[in-house]
């Protein structure tokens, strides 16, 4: 069946439809998880540079998913037999632009040398660059492109660099935590988080075999590039979700009614005075707390020592914490102010 030459977009089906659905699903969960992260951190007055970087990353992911959907509607993920000349030209343009975006976002934290090889290699692969998606210019002798082996080498460089980065971001924290003075339960929770993040490496490995199809540009190239696009979006989505998982614990505690002062002061653990207000039906008041620490020698305690009964020695009742003989204590002073409101007489 002949394809309408005037048809601008294709009806996504099969792999093309899978690209759209998978990209939107991961985008939804990425926005949800990052939104929860920002909400929790803002509630705790703990917004930092890492939160803004994650927010910027998810905004880039929104643009990436938009490009993927447009590419799938323009021919990426569809066999050549169902495409007309316009689809093939627009589809090649889509995967070229998307490839550069993926290179920028995925290799941002990679060694600069690897990033420069990948990015500049894609930019200079064809002269003019329009020939990257319009092969008619090459056939007419109006443009020149590098060899297919060059494109494959660039793609494999990006894949290997991303894989090494993912592994490094999983292994290095694991090595640090292995000797950390933490409870085994806490370590397992962190290792579980790292394991979720490492799933992104599986998507990187899964897309690697499809890179070799660049070597056969006339054999449904846009269809095979669709797999690269889909697995790349899965990888980025997992990264956005995994980066916000720690904040989910704070949301869970709030929904479960386990919110306490330890959680609220987790990110603002300073020695500054803290004030709280309380209200009763007939009186109002405020409490003011100040924590002071001595300058003497300190004894290091470890997580779980309280379970073993090995806490720091207590101060004798007849000895002041602030005395010269014991400068290493911690002292918290509380002051209360209560205002009584008159209560109407009852008969």
Which phi and psi (to 5°) does residue 126 adopt?
Answer: -125, 140
Strand-pairing partners, residue 337, are 286
Please work out, in degrees rounded to the nearest 5, the angle formed at the alpha carbon of residue 99 by the alpha carbons of 224 and 242. Answer: 95
What is the percent of the chain where pLDDT is above 90? 1
pLDDT value, residue 115:
64
| Cβ-based neighbour number of residue 88 at 10 Å | 19
Cα(148)–Cα(144) distance, rounded to whole angstroms?
A: 12
State the pLDDT at residue 28.
92
Regarding pTM above 0.85, the answer is no
Range with the lowest mean pLDDT among 80-84, 93-97, 136-140, 141-145? Answer: 93-97
For residue 281, give the DSSP letter: S
Domain extents in the chain: 15-255, 270-297+321-347
Rounded Cα gap, residues 103 and 280, in angstroms: 60
At 40 the pLDDT is: 84
Cα 218 to Cα 80: distance, rounded to the nearest angstrom: 9
Q: How high is the pLDDT of residue 287?
A: 60
Average pLDDT over residues 122-130: 81
The better pLDDT of the pair 193, 87 is held by: 193
Answer whether residue 321 shows pLDDT above 50: no
The string of pLDDT tens digits covering residues 236-265 is 888 888 778 777 777 777 777 655 444 444
What confidence score (pLDDT) does residue 278 get?
A: 47
- Which has the minimum average pLDDT: 132-136, 162-166, 229-233, 240-244? 162-166
Asked whether residue 214 carries a pLDDT value surpassing 80, the answer given is: no
Q: Say which residue the tokens 């779980």 belong to.
A: 304
User: What is the model's pLDDT at position 297?
Assistant: 56
Q: pLDDT: is 156 or 286 the higher one?
A: 156
Helix (H) or strand (E) holding 283: strand 283-293
Query: Looking at per-residue confidence, does 329 or 279 come out higher?
Result: 329
User: Where do runs of H (alpha helix) occur along the chain?
Assistant: 15-43, 49-74, 85-106, 112-123, 135-139, 148-178, 184-207, 221-255, 261-264, 305-308
Domain topology for 15-255: Rhopdopsin 7-helix transmembrane proteins (1.20.1070)
What is residue 282's predicted lDDT score, i.e. its pLDDT?
46
């Amino acid at each position: 069946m002949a394809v309408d030459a005037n048809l601008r977009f294709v009806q996504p089906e099969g792999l093309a439809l899978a690209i759209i659905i998978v990209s939107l699903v991961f985008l939804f969960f990425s926005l949800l998880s990052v939104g929860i992260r920002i909400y929790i951190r803002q509630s705790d007055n703990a917004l930092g540079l890492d939160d803004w970087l994650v927010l910027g990353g998810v905004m880039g992911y929104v643009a990436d998913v938009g490009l993927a959907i447009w590419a799938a509607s323009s021919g990426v993920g569809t066999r050549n037999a169902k495409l007309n000349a316009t689809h093939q030209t627009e589809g090649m343009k889509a995967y070229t632009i998307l490839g550069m975006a993926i290179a920028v976002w995925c290799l941002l934290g990679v060694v600069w040398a690897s990033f420069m090889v990948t990015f500049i290699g894609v930019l200079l692969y064809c002269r003019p660059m329009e020939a990257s998606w319009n092969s008619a210019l090459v056939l007419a002798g109006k443009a020149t492109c590098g060899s297919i082996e060059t494109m494959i080498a660039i793609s494999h460089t990006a894949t290997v660099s991303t894989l090494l980065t993912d592994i490094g971001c999983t292994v290095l924290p694991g090595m640090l935590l292995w000797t950390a003075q933490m409870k085994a339960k806490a370590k397992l929770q962190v290792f579980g988080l790292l394991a979720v993040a490492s799933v992104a490496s599986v998507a990187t490995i899964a897309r690697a075999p499809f890179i070799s199809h660049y070597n056969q540009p006339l054999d449904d190239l846009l269809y095979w590039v669709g797999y690269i696009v889909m697995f790349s979006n899965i990888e980025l989505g997992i990264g956005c979700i995994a980066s916000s998982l720690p904040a989910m614990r704070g949301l869970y505690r709030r929904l479960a009614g386990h919110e306490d002062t330890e959680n609220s002061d987790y990110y603002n653990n300073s020695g500054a005075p803290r004030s709280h207000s309380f209200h009763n039906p007939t009186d109002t008041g405020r409490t003011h707390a100040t924590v002071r620490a001595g300058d003497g020698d300190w004894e290091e305690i470890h997580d779980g020592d309280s379970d073993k009964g090995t806490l720091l020695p207590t101060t004798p009742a007849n000895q002041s914490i602030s005395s010269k003989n014991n400068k290493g204590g911690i002292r918290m002073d509380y002051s209360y102010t209560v205002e009584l409101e008159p209560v109407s007489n009852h008969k």
